[in-house]
Structure 1
Amino acid sequence: MYAFLLHACISHKSLDYGQRIYLQLLSESQEGHNLIQNPTLKSKLITLFSICGRLKVARHIFEDGLENHGALESVWVAMAIGYSKNEGFREALLVYIDMLWHNIQLGNFYFSVALNAHVNLKDSRLGRGVHGQVIKSSEEPDQVVNNALLSLYAQCGCYSEVLKMFDEMPQRNVVSWNSLIGGFAKRLFNGMSCEDWQLGMLC
């Protein structure tokens, strides 16, 4: 029931009702029903307060019980997305680093969040570190992760990596083509001739 109510609060950005649910969960936790540590409810609470601009509350919920109970990837991802939606891209990446520190098994969903943060920061150096984690992961990168990598290298002007990524992608969609074209259009406007662009496409 609480998960459904919180989902409705998130959909309508209803901070007032969300706060009431949060207080109710805290009250029940004091009575021995530790629902506040339920990963689904915790993730939704973090998401709700984040989209309503209450990052300090979201962070408090995230950290509450973290050392004693740990947290599933979904809870970490909710916090990272919360930062990203509020343009706290560096904070989102710090969550990523904390996940590595806590030996949390990373999946495609979080890789895409971390890579998009790097895209917004235009930081290819640290982005390559995430790319390395993607390669080492037991989970095959999905379309979203591949597109995020393509976008990262395109935004940072790493054109050889753009071509390599695009060539090796098992599937391409509109986002893939937009990243490729946008990256080379940026290079074209920065002084690359049409002949160079055509040559690059043939390599």
Structure 2
Amino acid sequence: MLVDHHVVNGLVDAYGKCGFLEDAQRVFDECPSGDIVSFTSMITALSQSGQGEEAMKLFVEMLKMDLKPDSFVCSSLLNSCAILSAHEQGKQIHTHVIKMGFALDNFAGNALVNMYAKCGSIEDGTLAFSEIPERGIVSWSAVIGGLAQHGHGKAALDYFYRMLDEGVPPNHITLTSVLCACNYAGFVNEAERYFNSMEEMFGVRRTLEHYACMVDILGRAGRLGSAMELIESMPFEANAAIWGALLGSSRVHGDVKLGIKAAEMLLVLEPEKSGTLVILTNIYASAGMWSEVASMRRLMKDSMVKREPGVSWIEGKEKVHTFFVGDRNHERSNEIYAKLEELGDLMKKAGYVPMVEIDLHHVEKWEKEILLLQHSEKLAVAFGLISVPPGAPIRIMKNLRVCRDCHEAFKFICKITGRKIIVRDVNRFHHFEDGFCSCGDYW
């Protein structure tokens, strides 16, 4: 049967862009054209659908066929690595970018900045940014957003001022990153200035994301009343991100009344999310409202809502190692638990006290301490300590917000072991070094 390569390539591209990944894969497999166009379309479709590992396999196959990828393929693969937090794979693609002469390509350069920032290596991200020949709004937004996510608020704002000096106007994404940078740096006045005048100064209308950032900024600063007033004055209906920001601030500052209000709204918007009930329970507990704590625990026990399991992972040389709480399925499980036990003893001698109050299981205190020690991120760090070469940072990724006990424990672990630990949770990066975290203990 004769196959029109143009038709095949067009179908793969069309199916991929429309999200019909299985159809794109079927056409690619059944009617192989074996040219750079079909491989590019299929790799891009896989990358954009979050199938980064499959895209990487196809990339290797393409290289074996002596097909030279273009900068667009490399950019797609780098973006996949960013989504997967696959730092080692990202560095391998970077090597190909250099070998193939794409180092000065804007698309590849922007993707490199994004990949390194999302994989926990913001230093490499800023270096990649410096090598982009023609930096546009995408380049600037990527480096500003990356610095903000890593807690380098002042540096992010410095890049923003440089961008303005070079005559590059910001867009709504850039200004979201600027507000995040102000948030992490505690620059409340600067945030209010940009938030209140962004349309006048830059012609950018405020979005829900901008309001969510501002609510979080005011809440972090303890200005919960102002945050609530802003929510009530919004031209939009407040979404889960906004109520979530207010709930988090209420927990930190012990405002039970506002915490209850935010939790009630969140339970309406996202009834399936158990995290709201957990935070509300902690707010009650911190205020000594034990009868309410008991009621919330009964509600969580009786509720059909399932708590999303925490999972942490660390990239090895050949594969990604994944851990759940109490996980004993890893091939080096005995070594991991031995290292955990060793760390537990050393941390307690150094002054670490397990936060048993955050564990909501109905068990004895000593059992809660064991459960806390076996959290997924602690297992991942223990594995990193026995597998990552000395001197190299240990990079951990987690699907949920890092728990308070693990956050405190990592400050002790990095001090005891002399290792830098980088944790990317659902919100941001935490850089633990010499007994401190880059987030300043508020995240």
Q: Is the 8 A contact 1:118 1:127 kept in 2?
A: yes
Bigger drift between 119-128 and 45-54 goes to 45-54
Inter-partner Cα distance in structure 1 for 2:49 and 2:171: 32
Aligned match of 1:29: none
Matched position secondary structure for 1:36? coil
Query: Is residue 66 from structure 1 mapped to residue 72 from structure 2 by the alignment?
Result: no
Aligned match of 1:9: 15
Inter-partner Cα distance in structure 2 for 1:149 and 1:48: 25
Inter-partner Cα distance in structure 2 for 1:83 and 1:25: 28
What pairs with 1:174-193 in structure 2 (closer than 5 Å)? 174-188=172-186
Inter-partner Cα distance in structure 2 for 1:161 and 1:3: 44
CA gap of 1:61–1:125, structure 2 versus 1, over 3 A, is: same
Query: Is residue 167 from structure 1 mapped to residue 164 from structure 2 by the alignment?
Result: no
Deviations 1:171-191 (A, max 9, x none): 112222221121121121xxx
Aligned match of 2:123: 125
Inter-partner Cα distance in structure 1 for 2:150 and 2:107: 22
Tell me how far 1:60 sits from its aligned partner: 3.2
Between the two structures, name the one with larger relative contact order (CA 8 Å, sep ≥ 6): 1
Identical positions, percent: 16
Matched position secondary structure for 2:34? helix
Tell me how far 1:12 sits from its aligned partner: 4.1
Instruction: Tell me how many residue pairs correspond in the alignment.
Output: 181
If you compute each CA radius of gyration, which structure gives the higher value, 1 or 2?
2
Bigger drift between 102-111 and 46-55 goes to 46-55
CA gap of 1:150–1:114, structure 2 versus 1, over 3 A, is: same
Aligned match of 2:80: 82
Inter-partner Cα distance in structure 1 for 2:53 and 2:67: 20
What pairs with 1:20-169 in structure 2 (closer than 5 Å)? 20-26=26-32, 35-38=33-36, 40-51=37-48, 54-66=51-63, 68-134=66-132, 137=133, 140-169=134-163
One-letter amino acid matched to 2:94: Y
CA gap of 1:48–1:175, structure 2 versus 1, over 3 A, is: closer
Q: Is the 8 A contact 1:93 1:117 kept in 2?
A: no
Inter-partner Cα distance in structure 2 for 1:80 and 1:72: 13
Q: Is the 8 A contact 2:97 2:108 kept in 1?
A: no
Matched position secondary structure for 1:64? helix
Would you tell me which structure has more helix in proportion to its own residues?
A: 1
The normalised TM-score by structure 2 is 0.36
One-letter amino acid matched to 2:95: I
One-letter amino acid matched to 1:24: E
Q: Is the 8 A contact 2:44 2:55 kept in 1?
A: yes
CA gap of 1:53–1:117, structure 2 versus 1, over 3 A, is: closer
Q: Which runs of 5+ in 2 are unaligned?
A: 1-6, 195-443
Q: Is the 8 A contact 2:47 2:55 kept in 1?
A: yes
Q: Which runs of 5+ in 1 are unaligned?
A: 27-34
